[in-house]
Amino acid sequence: MIGRRPSTAWGVLLAGGDGTRLQSLTTRIEGDTRPKQFCRMLGDETLVTQTRRRISPLFDSDKMITIVTKQHEEFYSRELDDRPQTRAVVQPANRGTGVALAAAILMLRELDADAIVAAFPCDHYYRNEHAFLDVIEAGILIAQDSSDSIVLLGAEATYPETEYGWIEPVQAFPNGVSFAPARVRHFWEKPTHATAQELLRRGCLWNTFVTIGRVTAFIDMLCHAAANPMLRLAAGIIEDDLDSVYRSIPPIDFSRDVLASRPERLLVIRDAVSGWTDLGNPKRVFDTLARERIAPAWLESIPGVETSVAS
């Protein structure tokens, strides 16, 4: 499927998080307090650079927006020195994925109000990047045809993970049909082990948080969730200067606080072949290195780890 670059699509890189769950590991790797997205965890590139390179076949270089947080400037300034300043959203503070995406969407409303947006966390690994691009391109095409819907990428679950969010589709995915979308029945955030086992049995998907839709669809979702005054600020309904908005607003999770409120507006497509992993904690990082036989240079500085990875 790869070969077309949708002219209306923009990529948004979510790189504003604090990375606290991986701080002990990233400090050992880099020798400072940088968040994981600015860490060379899997090789010579940082995770944000890997993410940008990974999605570049589908997005023009001037149609990628990176969301960062001001306090991390010493770590991202060189990462983004080749990007136009208008293509970065610098948040005064980290207020979660809901606020970060709202800030990017409001920028895009001014730049390209008819755009389709695909949002990508910068802490993921994909074994098969070509397969990942195929499913993203399919999601963009579905969003073009379903202008009122938000399209989610759900990874096929292989075990009852309790630290991931799960997506329950309304109906089972048909066999032999690539990237057929399904409506979403329910979100499950970090379920118990027993619940995760049942979700796995029912064919539910891991929520990768890769999210695709038109600017208008994102704005509509944000406005619907904006009964909370803080979400009204994030959605841009209440006009104020940026610093004041961020001082006033609590952290907002886009999946839990925005998407989950309107499952009837969501579509999910199944990614069964890219080999997605969320690098959310040290164990998952080391498991990924061992499984994929990746041996970055920093492993030599952590005794005992390089043996298990190389085996």
pLDDT digits (tens, 9 = 90+) for 203-227: 999 999 999 999 999 988 888 776 5
CB neighbourhood size of 180 (10 A): 15
Q: Give tens-digit pLDDT for 1-17.
A: 445 555 679 999 999 99
**What is the pTM for the complete model shown?**
0.90
C-alpha dihedral, 278 to 254 to 179 to 125, nearest 10°: -20
3-state secondary structure of 157: coil
Q: Which two tokens stand for residue 249?
A: 């607003």
Task: Enumerate domains of the chain plus CATH numbers.
Answer: 9-310 (3.90.550.10)
Question: How distant is the alpha carbon of residue 160 from its chain centre?
Answer: 21
> pLDDT 10s digit of each residue in the chain, 311 long?
445 555 679 999 999 999 899 999 999 999 999 999 999 999 999 999 999 999 999 998 889 999 999 999 999 988 887 766 558 889 999 999 998 998 899 889 889 988 999 999 999 999 999 999 999 999 999 999 999 999 999 999 999 999 999 999 998 777 656 788 999 999 998 999 999 999 999 999 999 999 999 999 998 888 877 655 545 555 554 455 667 777 777 888 999 888 988 999 999 999 999 999 999 999 999 999 999 999 999 988 776 554 444 43
- CA–CA separation, 89 vs 107, rounded Å? 8
Task: List % helix, strand, coil for the chain (3-state, nearest 5).
Answer: 45, 20, 35
